Structure 1
Amino acid sequence: MRPEDGEALGSGSAGAVFALPSDEGDVAVKVFPGRLYERTRLRLEHELERLSALDGQILVPGAIEELPDGRCALRSELCTRSLLDLVESTGPLSVSDTLVLGSAIASTLARAHEAGIVHGRLTPANVLFRASGEPVINDFERTLRPVFVRDPDHGSDFLAPEGPHGEGADLYGLGAVLHFALTGLPPGPDRPELHRVDAPIDLLSLTENLLAEDPDSRPAGMAVVEEILIALTPEPSTVDEEAPVVVSRGIQGYPLLTIGPEPAPAPEPRKRSAWPVLAIGAATVLATAAWFLIPGSPEPVPQAQAQPSLAKTSTNPKPAPRVELDAPIDHGSMVELTWRAPAGFDSAVVVADGTGEAKTTIVRQQRTMKIPVDPGRKYCFLVQITDGGDVQESAPRPIRGAVCRK
C-alpha cells in the first residue's frame, strides 16, 4: 500500500505525513521526496538513538523505511491532532492547559539542551497530542532537513528571526507556541502587546520575553523557563471552575458509559513523563465504557448487564428525561453539540467512536460544545445532567450512519 493511499495528515518543510493501517494498528508514515543515501542514513540512525535516550515528551520514529520507488520514509506512532489543528478548530486554550503544555515542552527541551540537542523549528504544527491528551514534540530529527527541502518557508511565522540554530531558537519557538495557545494567532513582528485577562501577568511577561527579537534578551536558558512555568502551573487536582473537565468517571463517581466489545489487554507500558495530560475538549480517554456503535443494527439494542447504582437513589419512578440533545452538526474535523437542560444542572458530554473507548467531559453549566473528531469515523454522542441528586441523560445522537446502543 502506497502512503498516498492512506489518510493525508499534513506536510512540513521536508516531508508529508500519512496515516496507514498496520498489524499493530494505525501508524504515521512521513514520506520524504527522495532517496536516503547510506551516509545520511547512518547519521539519522545515530540521531534517533540519541533522541530515544532523552527523558521527555518526544515522538521518536520507530523505523526508517525505503519505499518501493526509493523514497525515504519514517514510521512512528500515530497522533492525529496537532496544537495547530486544535486551536484552529476550537479556539485558544485555557490558561491551565497552556501552562501544562508549556511546562511539558520546556521540560523536554531543557533535557534536550542538556544533551546538546536543539530542535530549532518548534511550531504549533509539530506539537502533537496522543489519544490520552499527552503532548509530544514531533520533527526533532535535524539530519534530513537540509537533505530534503520541500517548503523552506513552512511555519516561518513561528520561527526565530536569527534562524533555527542554537538554544535561543527553541526559546523563541516555545514563546511562539505559548502565544498561539493563548491567542490563536502567530506572534507577528507588529503584534500588539499580549493581553489576556484570565492569565497571570508572569505568564504573559515570560511569553513576551521568549519572543524577544534579540536572542540575548530572552531568558537565560530553558531550565529557567521550566522552573517559572512549573511554579505557575496548577496542581493536577486543581479545578478551573469555568473550564471543561475531562474525567475518567462520571458526575457522581461512577462510570457513565461503557463501550464494547471489551478492550484488548493493555500493551506493555512505555516510558511516560510525570506531566499530566491536558483537559482539552474530549481528549482524555475513559478507562470504562457504555454504548457501542453496531454495524448494521437498525435500532438501539439494550445491553444485558448489571448497571452500577448511583450515589443517591430514589424509590420513586425515574422522572422523564429533562435534557434534550439536538442533532449534531458535523463539520468534518469538528462536531457542534447543543442541548437543553434546566438551569442549575451540571452537564457531562459523552462521546463514543467505536474503538472500544469512551470519552466524558464535564462542562458544568454549558449547553454547547465543539468536539474535535476524526473525519470519516462514526460517532455517537450523549449528554448527562445532574443537580447533585439523580443523573438524567439525553437520547444518544449518532453521526455518519453510526448506530448507538446503551
Structure 2
Amino acid sequence: MSGQQPGRDGNPQVFQPLAADDPTTIAGYRLAAKLGAGGMGKVYLSYTPGGRPVAIKVIRPEFGEDAEFRRRFAQEVQSAQRVQGLFTAPVIDADTDGAQPWLATAYVPGPSLADAVVAHGALPVEAVLLLIAGMAEALHVIHGAGIVHRDLKPSNVLLAADGPRVIDFGIAYAADATSLTGSGVTIGTPSFMAPEQAAGRKVTPATDIFALGQVAAYAATGTPAFGEGTSHGVLYRIVHEEPDLTGVPERLTELVTRCLAKDPEARPTIAEIIRLCQTANAETVLRRPEDWLPGSVAADITVRAAAPAPVQAPPPPATAPAVAYSPTAPVAPATPPPGFGPPPQQQPPVQQPAQQPVQHPTQQPMQPVQQPPRPYPAPPAHAHAYAPTQYPTHQQPHPQQPYPGAPVPPKSGSKRGVLIALAAVLVFAVAGSATAYVLQKDDGQKAKDTAGSAQGTDKGKGSDPSPGGGTGTGGGTGTGGSSKPSPKADPKPADFKAINLTAGYHLTLGDDDVRPQPGEDGGYELSYDTGGYLDSEVSEGNMVLLDPGQEGSLAVCRAETRFAKNIYIHKIAKGRQICVITGTGHMGLVTVQGFSPEDSPSKYMTLDVTVWRNAAATGSGSRG
C-alpha cells in the first residue's frame, strides 16, 4: 500500500477529493485529500500543525478485528519508528489500539517507481544505479531495526527529487498474521516475491535482496524479470525457472543476476550491492539530486509537490460566547488573545478585586455554546511517537469578563466582603510571620538533635549518614531536609557459561539458574525465535547489539540507548556482545561464543551470560 500515488489510468489524479464514505479527520489530523488505496486500506493527505504534509494510512476494519494482526502491527510500528534513514519515509505517528489502526509517515512528493515506468518507460542505466544504491541504503537501516520488508516492489518505492524513498516496511509481516490473506485479500505482489517466500519457507533479510534485484530489472526494462500472468504461474517461475534478463543493460547484468540467486546464502550483502553499483558507474553517489531522474519524471515530482492547502477551521466569533462560570478555573494571562471579548462599546468597567467572588447558590449558570472546530488537530486518545497535537487551548471566558482570565466584576454589595477578606489576609500574614520567627529561632537549637536523629535513622536502614546533615531543618522524617543518601553499590554479577540456547527456547534472567526453557513467543525476556533472530518481548524490555570490539559491562549497558526488540542472527558473529534490559529490573550481558554446526539436528547458539539483578533500577538512580 504505497498510498502516495494515484491509479494508473493514463491521466492520473494525484489528489483525489474525499468521498462521502471517507473520514474528515483521523485522531485530530484534518484530511485534505485522498492519495490512494491498497489491500491494507486507504491513504490520505494531511498536515502537522507546522504545515508539514503527512500521509495517513488507515488500516481496513477487517484487519483491525484480528487480534494477532494488531499484536504484530503494534510490534512492527514500534520497530519502524526507529528507522531514520535518508532513503526511507519515516513513521512519525500511529495508533495501533484504536477502532481502526492507522499510521502517519512523511509525505514524499514524487511518483512511485511503478507509476513512473508505466507513464514514461524504463529508466536509464545511470538512474537505475542511483535508485538501487539508495534502496540498498534504505534496506540497511530497515534491517538494522530488525525488520524484513517482505513487500519490496516498485509501488513501494517513491521517486523524490533527492533520491528514492522506500515505504511500507514491515506492514506485510502484520498482514501475514490474519486469515484474510487466505480468503481473497492479497498482500504483496507475486511478481516481486522471493523463492523462499513463494514456497512458504523462512523469510530473512536476503528475501529483500531478491526483491531488490527484481526491482532493478523492472526499472531497467519496464517488465518484471519473471514475466506477468496469473499469480500461480508467476510464483512457479520464480521458484523453478530462471529470470528473463535479455533486456537488462550489460552494466546491470552482474548486479541483477547475483541478487536473483535462488539460494538466499548466495545473494550479495548490502555492502556488496553498493560496491557493484559504484563499479558499474563511478557517479553512483547522489551528488546531483536535481537531475538524477529523466525530465518527464521530474515534472511529475513538481505536480505532487503542489499539494492542496491544509483544511482551515472557521474563524472564531467576534464576540465571546456565553459559557457556564467555573469559580475554580485557573487565571489566564492578563493580555487577551486576539478575537476574544466583546466589542469595546460593550465592555463593562473593569474592577480589580483581590480574589474572584464565590458564585452564590441562587445564581443560575448560563448554558455553554459549542465552540467551532479548532484549526489544528485535537489531541489524540493515545500518546504517539510524534505528537503534533499537544497545543494549549484557550480558556473559556466568563460571560462578564472582558477577556479570558480578567477578574469578574463583583456584584453589588460585594465590596464589603472584599474588605473583610483583605483584613483577614492581613491578620493571617501577621500571625504567620510571628510563627515563622519562633520556628526559625527554635530551629537553631534543635539542628544537632535533628541531624543526629536523621543519622540514626539512616544507619538503621543500612545506608551511610550524609555529611552536613546538621545544617538542615530535619532528617529522614522532617521537611526540607537537604541531605542525600549515598547511592547503593552495584549488584554483584552472576555468570552462566556455555548456555546452548536452541531456536524456539528462551531465557529468564531473573531465574536462580539461567537455563533454556521452551517457548519463543510469550512475553519472554530473551528468546531465540525460529525466524532467525533474538527477541525481547517483555514489557519495557530491550536489547542493544554492541559494536565489534566494544567491551560490554554494566556501565556500558546502562549508558547505551540503541535499543532493539529483535536482532537477526546473521548480524551476529562470534565474540559479539548484546546488552539485555529485561524490563523487570535486571540487566544482562550476552556474549556469543558460537553457533550449531550445519550437521547438527538442532539449531542453537552458545552463549555466555552475565546477569546483574535489579541493576536497572539502581542504575537509573545512580545516574540521576
TM-score by length of 2: 0.36
Question: Aligned-pair distance for 1:114?
Answer: 4.7
2-structure distance, mates of 1:25, 1:183: 35
Mapping for residues 235-384 of structure 1, pairs under 5 Å? 235=283, 276=289, 278-282=292-296
Residues 112 and 118 in structure 1, CA contact (< 8 A), matched pair in contact too:
yes
Question: Aligned-pair distance for 1:33?
Answer: 1.4
**Paired residue for 2:79, among 42, 47, 57?**
47
| CA gap 1:192/1:214 in 2 versus in 1, 3 angstroms | closer
**Paired residue for 1:170, among 194, 202, 208?**
208
1-structure distance, mates of 2:284, 2:276: 17
Tell me what 2:59 maps to.
32
**Paired residue for 2:158, among 113, 128, 133?**
128
Residues 54 and 105 in structure 2, CA contact (< 8 A), matched pair in contact too:
yes
1-structure distance, mates of 2:97, 2:44: 14
Q: Which has the higher helix share?
A: 2
Secondary structure of the equivalent of 2:276? helix
Structure number with larger C-alpha Rg: 2
Higher relative contact order (CA 8 A, sep 6+): 1
Are positions 1:59 and 2:89 aligned together? yes
Return the letter of the residue paired with 2:148: V
Tell me what 1:71 maps to.
100
| CA gap 1:114/1:153 in 2 versus in 1, 3 angstroms | closer
Question: Aligned-pair distance for 1:179?
Answer: 0.7
Secondary structure of the equivalent of 1:165? coil
Residues 81 and 90 in structure 2, CA contact (< 8 A), matched pair in contact too:
no
2-structure distance, mates of 1:140, 1:354: 22
Residues 8 and 18 in structure 1, CA contact (< 8 A), matched pair in contact too:
yes
Are positions 1:9 and 2:35 aligned together? yes
Are positions 1:139 and 2:168 aligned together? yes
| CA gap 1:25/1:58 in 2 versus in 1, 3 angstroms | closer
2-structure distance, mates of 1:282, 1:82: 13
Question: Aligned-pair distance for 1:41?
Answer: 6.5
Tell me what 1:229 maps to.
277
**Paired residue for 1:181, among 190, 212, 219?**
219
2-structure distance, mates of 1:50, 1:353: 30
| CA gap 1:6/1:156 in 2 versus in 1, 3 angstroms | farther
Residues 121 and 169 in structure 1, CA contact (< 8 A), matched pair in contact too:
no
Residues 14 and 144 in structure 1, CA contact (< 8 A), matched pair in contact too:
no
2-structure distance, mates of 1:354, 1:177: 23
Report % sequence identity: 26
| CA gap 1:191/1:8 in 2 versus in 1, 3 angstroms | farther
2-structure distance, mates of 1:174, 1:71: 32
| CA gap 1:114/1:15 in 2 versus in 1, 3 angstroms | same
2-structure distance, mates of 1:280, 1:127: 16
Secondary structure of the equivalent of 1:99? helix
**Paired residue for 1:81, among 111, 119, 138?**
111
**Paired residue for 2:262, among 198, 205, 213?**
213
Are positions 1:118 and 2:148 aligned together? yes
| CA gap 1:194/1:354 in 2 versus in 1, 3 angstroms | closer
Residues 83 and 145 in structure 2, CA contact (< 8 A), matched pair in contact too:
no
2-structure distance, mates of 1:61, 1:354: 20
| CA gap 1:209/1:50 in 2 versus in 1, 3 angstroms | same
Secondary structure of the equivalent of 2:45? strand
Deviation per CA, 1:36-62, whole angstroms, max 9, x where unpaired?
87855752453133323xx44111221
Return the letter of the residue paired with 1:74: L
Question: Aligned-pair distance for 1:30?
Answer: 1.0
Return the letter of the residue paired with 1:233: N
Residues 87 and 181 in structure 1, CA contact (< 8 A), matched pair in contact too:
yes
**Paired residue for 1:98, among 128, 148, 171?**
128
Return the letter of the residue paired with 1:59: A
Residues 102 and 178 in structure 1, CA contact (< 8 A), matched pair in contact too:
yes
2-structure distance, mates of 1:82, 1:8: 16
Residues 122 and 220 in structure 2, CA contact (< 8 A), matched pair in contact too:
yes
Residues 56 and 111 in structure 1, CA contact (< 8 A), matched pair in contact too:
no
| CA gap 1:6/1:158 in 2 versus in 1, 3 angstroms | farther
Q: Which has the higher strand share?
A: 1
Are positions 1:195 and 2:225 aligned together? no
1-structure distance, mates of 2:216, 2:252: 9
Tell me what 2:544 maps to.
none
The gaps in structure 1 that reach 5 residues or longer are 238-272, 286-333, 335-350, 357-373, 376-406
2-structure distance, mates of 1:205, 1:72: 42
2-structure distance, mates of 1:354, 1:11: 17
Secondary structure of the equivalent of 1:117? coil
1-structure distance, mates of 2:271, 2:284: 21
1-structure distance, mates of 2:305, 2:263: 48
Return the letter of the residue paired with 2:281: T
1-structure distance, mates of 2:144, 2:305: 40
Return the letter of the residue paired with 2:194: A
| CA gap 1:355/1:6 in 2 versus in 1, 3 angstroms | closer
The gaps in structure 2 that reach 5 residues or longer are 1-23, 227-236, 309-624
Return the letter of the residue paired with 1:76: T
| CA gap 1:64/1:111 in 2 versus in 1, 3 angstroms | closer
2-structure distance, mates of 1:354, 1:42: 30
Residues 100 and 233 in structure 1, CA contact (< 8 A), matched pair in contact too:
no
2-structure distance, mates of 1:66, 1:42: 6
**Paired residue for 2:194, among 160, 174, 185?**
160
2-structure distance, mates of 1:47, 1:90: 35
2-structure distance, mates of 1:71, 1:12: 15
Residues 126 and 284 in structure 2, CA contact (< 8 A), matched pair in contact too:
no
Return the letter of the residue paired with 2:41: G
